[in-house]
Amino acid sequence: MTRPRTLYAKIWETHLIDERSDGSCLLWIDRHVLNEGTSIQAFDSLREAGLTIERREMHLAVADHAVPTDERGGPLPAGTRSDRILQLERNCTEFGIPHIPYLSTRQGICHVIAPEQGFVLPGMVAVCGDSHTATLGAMGALGFGIGTSEIEQVLATGTLIQQPSKTMAVEINGILGDGINAKDVILHLIGVIGAAGGTGYAIEYRGSAIEAMSIEARMTLSNMSVEAGARVGMIAPDEQLIQWLHGRALTPRGAEWDEAVAYWRTLPTDPGATFDRIVQIKAADIAPQVTWGTSPEHVVAVGAAVPDPESFADPTRAAAAARALAYQGLQPGTPIQAIAIDRVFIGSCTNARLSDLRAAANVVRGRHLASHVEGFVVPGSTRIRRDAEEEGLDRVFIEAGFEWRHSGCSMCGGAETAPPGTRIAATSNRNFEHRQGRDVRTHLVSPAMAAAAGIAGHFVDIRQFGKGRA
Amino acid sequence: MSEPLTIVEGIAAPLPLKNVDTDIIWPGLPGLSLRRGDQARNAFARLRFDPEGAERPDFILNQLPWREAKILVAGSNFGCGSSREMAVWGLVEWGMRCVIAPSFGDIFFNNACLNGLLPVILPENAVEAILATITDPERSVLKVDLVAMRVTGSGFNLPFMLDEHRRRCLLHGLNETGATLQQIETVRSFGKSYADRFPWTRIEGEKIA
Ligand code: SF4
* pLDDT of amino acid A267: 98
What is the position in ligand 1's atom list of the atom closest to the CA of A350?
A: 4
Residue A71, judged by CB atoms within 10 A of its CB (0-12, 13-18, 19+), counts as exposed
B23 and A414 within 8 Å at the Cβ level: the answer is yes
ipTM of the complex: 0.94
B21 and A58 within 8 Å at the Cβ level: the answer is no
A36, A65, A226, A430: residue to mutate for ligand 1 pocket, most atoms within 8 A of CB: A65
- Non-local CB neighbours of A254 within 8 Å, separated by 6+ positions: none
Domain A166-237+269-285, second-level architecture: 3-Layer(aba) Sandwich (3.40)
Q: Answer whether CATH 3.30.499.10 is correct for domain A289-456.
A: yes
Mean pLDDT of all residues belonging to chain B = 94
B55-94 residues touching A, CB cutoff 8 A: 75-77, 80-86, 88
Dist. CA B174 → ligand 1 center (Å): 31
A57 and B200 within 8 Å at the Cβ level: the answer is no
Q: Quick: pLDDT tens for B64-83.
A: 999 999 999 999 999 999 99
Percentage of residues in chain B having pLDDT higher than 90: 87
A381, A428, A430, A436: residue to mutate for ligand 1 pocket, most atoms within 8 A of CB: A428
The pLDDT-based confidence of B205 (bands split at 50, 70, 90) is low
Dist. CA A65 → ligand 1 center (Å): 7
Alpha-carbon dihedral A328, A411, A135, A176, rounded to 10 degrees: 60
Dist. CA A400 → ligand 1 center (Å): 26
Domain limits, chain A? 7-162, 166-237+269-285, 289-456
B75 and A230 within 8 Å at the Cβ level: the answer is no
Q: Which residues pair with B35 in a beta bridge?
A: none
- Is residue A434 within 8 angstroms of chain B, CB to CB? yes
Q: Which residue has the higher pLDDT, A316 or B192?
A: B192
Q: Are the C-beta atoms of A332 and A308 separated by less than 8 Å?
A: yes
Residue whose C-alpha is closest to residue A59's, from A83, A38, A35: A35
- Non-local CB neighbours of A242 within 8 Å, separated by 6+ positions: A261, A264
Alpha-carbon dihedral A62, A68, A74, A77, rounded to 10 degrees: -110
SS3 label, residue B77:
coil
Instruction: Tell me how far the alpha carbon of residue B166 is from its chain's centroid.
Output: 12
Tens digit of each residue's pLDDT, chain A (470 residues): 679 999 999 999 999 999 988 889 999 999 999 999 899 999 999 999 999 999 999 999 999 999 999 999 888 888 888 899 999 999 999 999 999 999 999 999 999 999 999 999 999 999 999 999 999 999 999 999 999 999 999 999 999 999 999 999 999 999 999 999 999 999 999 999 999 999 999 999 999 999 999 999 999 999 999 999 999 999 999 999 999 999 999 999 999 999 999 999 999 999 999 999 999 999 999 999 999 999 999 999 999 999 999 999 988 899 999 999 999 999 999 999 999 999 999 999 999 999 999 999 999 999 999 999 999 999 999 999 999 999 999 999 999 999 999 999 999 988 899 999 999 999 999 999 999 999 999 999 999 999 999 999 999 999 999 775 43
Instruction: Report the gap between the CA of A98 and the closest CA in chain B (Å).
Output: 5
* pLDDT of amino acid B113: 96
Least CB–CB distance from B165: residue in A17, A22, A55? A22
pTM: 0.95
pLDDT average, residue stretch B23-45: 89
Instruction: Tell me how far the alpha carbon of residue A315 is from its chain's centroid.
Output: 31
> 3-state SS string over chain A?
CCCCCCHHHHHHHHHEEEECCCCCEEEECCEEEECCCCCHHHHHHHHHHCCCCCCHHHEEEECCCCCCCCCCCCCCCCCHHHHHHHHHHHHHHHHCCCEECCCCCCCECHHHHHHHCCCCCCCCEEEECCHHHHHHHHHCCEEEECCHHHHHHHHHHCEEEECCCEEEEEEEECCCCCCCCHHHHHHHHHHHHCCCCCCCEEEEEECHHHHCCCHHHHHHHHHCCHHHCCCEEECCCCHHHHHHHCCCCCCCCHHHHHHHHHHHCCCCCCCCCCCCEEEEEEHHHCCCEEECCCCCCCEEECCCECCCHHHCCCHHHHHHHHHHHHHHCCCCCCEHHHCECCEEEECCCCCCCHHHHHHHHHHHCCCCCCCCCEEEECCCEHHHHHHHHHCCHHHHHHHCCEEECCCCCCCCCCCCCCCCCCEEEECCCCCCCCCCCCCCEEEECCHHHHHHHHHHCECCCCCCCCCCCC
Least CB–CB distance from B203: residue in A23, A51, A57? A57
- Give yes or no for residue B206 having a pLDDT over 60: no
Q: Are strands A59-62 and A441-444 parallel, antiparallel or unpaired?
A: unpaired
Please give the CATH topology (third level) of the domain spanning A7-162: Aconitase; domain 3 (3.30.499)
d(CA A439, CA A453): 20
Other C-beta atoms closer than 10 Å to the C-beta of A314 total 11
d(CA A412, CA A94): 30
Q: Are strands A232-234 and A201-206 parallel, antiparallel or unpaired?
A: parallel
Task: Enter the DSSP assignment of B60.
Answer: G
* pLDDT of amino acid A470: 36
Given this chain, do its domains A166-237+269-285 and A289-456 carry the same CATH topology? no
Other C-beta atoms closer than 10 Å to the C-beta of A64 total 31
B197 and A145 within 8 Å at the Cβ level: the answer is no
Report all structural domains of chain B as residue ranges with CATH numbers, in order of start: 7-199 (3.20.19.10)
